[in-house]
Structure 1
Amino acid sequence: MTLTGVDVAEHNSAESCWVIVHGKAYDVTEFLPEHPGGMKIILKYAGKDATDEFDPIHPPDTLDKFLDKSKHLGPVDMSTVKVEQKKESPEEKTRQEMIALKPPLSQCYNLLDFEAVAKRVMKKTAWAYYSSAADDEITMRENHAAFQRIWFRPKILVDVEKVDFSTTMLGTKVDMPFYVTATALGKLGHPEGEVLLTRASKKHNVVQMIPTLASCSFDEIMDAAEGDQVQWLQLYVNKDREITKRIVQHAEKRGCKALFITFTDEGSNVQNGEETDNSQGAARAISSFIDPALSWKDIPWFQGITKMPILLKGVQRVEDVLKAIEAGVQGVVLSNHGGRQLEFARSAIEVLAETMPVLKQMGLEDKIEIYVDGGVRRGTDILKALCMGAKGVGIGRPFLYAMSAYGPEGVDRAMALLRDELEMNMRLIGCTSVAELNPSLIDVRSLTSHGNGVPTDVLSKSVYDRLQSPAQRPKPKL
């Protein structure tokens, strides 16, 4: 039976709440208290078409997976659904003007340029989610600033006519020593979401890490891959281990080449531009399924359900790297989750500086692959990490900004710019291959001192969206 808009509109309260998504009606009444984003956002669309609100946040298979089939009410005759005329707000009018006036893509010369443009053209709530981090955002800014305390010691009179910065990651040959790391909610920035990043990764022959909290479904992202393109899975572990097992084994069956288990707290400590019922930010809300009881004792269980290489993402101290080696995993990602978790967590590059000398002293540097993410914005940042012993680096937000500002062409140019920077700076430090990068080429003495003699990063400073104190109320009119 086909429902009408009038049928659905009658169910517009917490006592009986129906919504329309992609021309089908769903009874979400019983789900209201369980919705990670709170009841308020669903009730806003009770009895109405919620498709526009649903799409940027949820993979298309969400309702099929998580809402009992008895609550799937069937198709709706959309010609009978009242179309609400959305009045363009002054804010949206200004944003559209900024989109029309945005600089040509050719004027973006580095990754921070994309961030500057994205700040002006993205919707306020989307920008708030992509750009924000925990508490005072000190850790997020330190992730980038830490790279600026590392200096090069370049070699001269080296034949650098031919430069090769290809490498291998977990046995996969890649053209550049970075991967597209997992970031949530890609459709907030572009309607195609993560599949756009899949296509760019293929073009530039780099690995894409598929996020648990993607806007596109896992299968959509896998289906967008071409040929022998390599993808990894980033996994937030569900409290229900059977669900986790199904996800992991399905990923392996579909051809994922590695499993990155992400150790984090329950949800994310992230600010957000839109209120939710639990007042804890969008990321904490959408990731509330994450198991806070996850521990070292669970690693053997994962090793028993998959043959994929297992890596631990979110390691922040050398002692845990040693535990990872002892546990028999294939790698770790040194990461503080982009500054979205614990404020005053050290940057990954600083943890790398602590880790590699210990591993070398113990003869363990070849027992595990070390990756870092957070704050990488330049080709020089990548080279510094590799000189220190990292196998590669993960880059996330810059590609979201490029995608949000310029679509697929933006991501393509962002990766091409990194390629150009890598080539130029490999020549300038006197290296022709990744194998030649080593600690003698850098000076890290300032990295852990946290002194004040750090050059000001003008581009980063101008782009940074400063936190605001509560505004004073206007004086009442007499």
Structure 2
Amino acid sequence: MAYQRVWFRPRILRDVSTVDWSTTILGQKSSLPVYISATALGKLGHPEGELTLTRAAAKTGVIQMIATLASCAFDDILDAAAPGQTFFLQLYVNRDREITRKYVQHAEARGVKGLFITVDAPQLGRREKDMRMKVVDEDAGAEVQKGHEVKKDQGVARAISSFIDPSLSWKDIPWFRSITKMPIILKGIGSAEDAVLAYEAGVQGIVLSNHGGRQLDTARSGIEVLVEVVSALRLRGYWPDPRFEIYVDGGVRRASDVLKAIALGATAVGVGRPFLYAFCAYGQEGVEKAIQIFRDEFEMNMRLLGAKAIKDIVPEMVDAKSLSSHFVMTPQDNLFQNTYQPLQLAKFQESKL
């Protein structure tokens, strides 16, 4: 819903006969300013799980972020890649740091181009719909948990995440820098203060995210945090800096959402649920179709904005003043309303006694 509180300020009478929405993310070429964000347990939605994303990404030139909690084995995903295909790795940090070190260094040896460390999940949030499911399908579980005891009475997410280290802190960043040469990005920043600390810690980027709205209730979305983060970095002379990139994930459903984030300072955005829906319903072809829809929308919206290339999308093209207010009237999001079903209230039958 936050994206609907950002309004476009289009420019006219510009030659937009050709437009180019390609970009680079951490120095890696991408056909879109979008990467496939890490999501767990792909085989819950499709028998081939994350491999559907890998093959679609290869055909469309989009970068895939591999989840620590993927259903498919890490090496199986890399083995299914096309020559030269780019991957990032999302990392949940294990209590056993030796396991984490081996995992990270193996990923680097296999050619992964960026390490995205999730920092907003020292404990999994109370995901009540998930908890109602309880049972974990062994065939669709996380590959990283195979061979370990898994509790099945608290929902899928909690069952597979017991290894995550809640002691992870800023003091661990130098250790990560010592074990890998991959760019390090902190995924799950929710405030300007932590964005500043991340820059000062020497990482190469941050992802502004509220973890899909499934961690801390009422935490702001990434797009809402973006404005204050850019302002705080600029105030200290840290921004713009080509050595430090900002990404946003959560709630992106249209190319127009992506363009709003870019105008406000993001390099690219992560998209998760839309690609999940696509491969759950239609497999690899569904993901390719979803990416094609993004392409068509980029072409249309960039022309209507008056931007020939990503570099032409500037802050003056959006009005984001409403983002600072959480009590405003916004257009109803029919896409959201039609996709997500609210929890149903229990209905009690009147007794005939």
Normalised by the length of structure 1, the TM-score is 0.68
Which residue, 203, 207, 215 being the options, matches 1:333? 207
Q: How many residues align?
A: 333
Distance 2:111 2:256 in 1: 33
Distance 1:177 1:432 in 2: 14
1:278, distance to aligned residue in structure 2 (A): 6.7
Q: 3-state SS of the aligned residue for 1:345?
A: coil
Paired residues for 1:263-282 under 5 Å:
263=119, 264-271=121-128, 272=130, 273-275=132-134, 279-282=153-156
Residue in structure 2 matched with residue 290 of structure 1 by the alignment:
164
Paired residues for 1:69-468 under 5 Å:
145-263=1-119, 264-271=121-128, 272=130, 273-275=132-134, 279-365=153-239, 366=241, 367-468=243-344
Distance 2:237 2:313 in 1: 19
Q: Relative to structure 2, which stretch is displaced further, 454-463 or 210-219?
A: 454-463
1:352–1:404 distance in 2 versus 1, CA, 3 Å: same
Q: Deviations over 1:204-241 (max 9, x none)?
A: 11110000000101011111111111001000000001
Matched-pair contact (CA < 8 Å) for 2:101–2:179: yes
> Can you give the 5+ residue segments of structure 1 that lack an aligned partner in the other structure?
1-144
Matched-pair contact (CA < 8 Å) for 1:267–1:290: no
Query: RCO higher in 1 or 2 (8 Å CA, sep ≥ 6)?
Result: 2
Distance 2:231 2:213 in 1: 25
Distance 2:201 2:352 in 1: 68
Matched-pair contact (CA < 8 Å) for 2:54–2:81: yes
Distance 1:224 1:476 in 2: 59
Matched-pair contact (CA < 8 Å) for 2:122–2:168: no
1:179, distance to aligned residue in structure 2 (A): 0.1
Q: Relative to structure 2, which stretch is displaced further, 179-188 or 463-472?
A: 463-472
Distance 1:477 1:225 in 2: 64
Distance 2:134 2:344 in 1: 16
Matched-pair contact (CA < 8 Å) for 1:268–1:283: no
Q: Which amino acid aligns with 1:466?
A: P
Distance 2:351 2:283 in 1: 45
Matched-pair contact (CA < 8 Å) for 1:270–1:282: no
Residue in structure 2 matched with residue 84 of structure 1 by the alignment:
none
Q: 3-state SS of the aligned residue for 1:242?
A: helix
1:359, distance to aligned residue in structure 2 (A): 1.7
Q: Deviations over 1:419-438 (max 9, x none)?
A: 00011000000000001111
Distance 2:134 2:80 in 1: 34
Q: Which amino acid aligns with 1:340?
A: R
Distance 2:191 2:152 in 1: 32
Distance 2:167 2:51 in 1: 32
Distance 2:347 2:96 in 1: 44
Distance 2:278 2:125 in 1: 24
Q: Which has the larger radius of gyration?
A: 1
Matched-pair contact (CA < 8 Å) for 2:196–2:232: no
Distance 1:217 1:228 in 2: 20
Distance 1:470 1:299 in 2: 48
Q: 3-state SS of the aligned residue for 2:270?
A: strand
Q: 3-state SS of the aligned residue for 2:321?
A: coil
Q: Deviations over 1:413-463 (max 9, x none)?
A: 100000000110000000000011110000001111123320111222122
Residue in structure 1 matched with residue 143 of structure 2 by the alignment:
none
Q: 3-state SS of the aligned residue for 1:406?
A: helix
Q: 3-state SS of the aligned residue for 1:193?
A: coil
Distance 1:463 1:297 in 2: 41
Distance 2:30 2:152 in 1: 43
Matched-pair contact (CA < 8 Å) for 1:268–1:287: no
Q: Which amino acid aligns with 2:133?
A: E
Q: Deviations over 1:48-85 (max 9, x none)?
A: xxxxxxxxxxxxxxxxxxxxxxxxxxxxxxxxxxxxxx
Q: Percent identity?
A: 58
Q: 3-state SS of the aligned residue for 1:360?
A: helix
Q: Deviations over 1:161-199 (max 9, x none)?
A: 010011111000111000000000101111110011011
Matched-pair contact (CA < 8 Å) for 2:22–2:310: yes
Matched-pair contact (CA < 8 Å) for 1:180–1:208: yes
1:477–1:222 distance in 2 versus 1, CA, 3 Å: farther
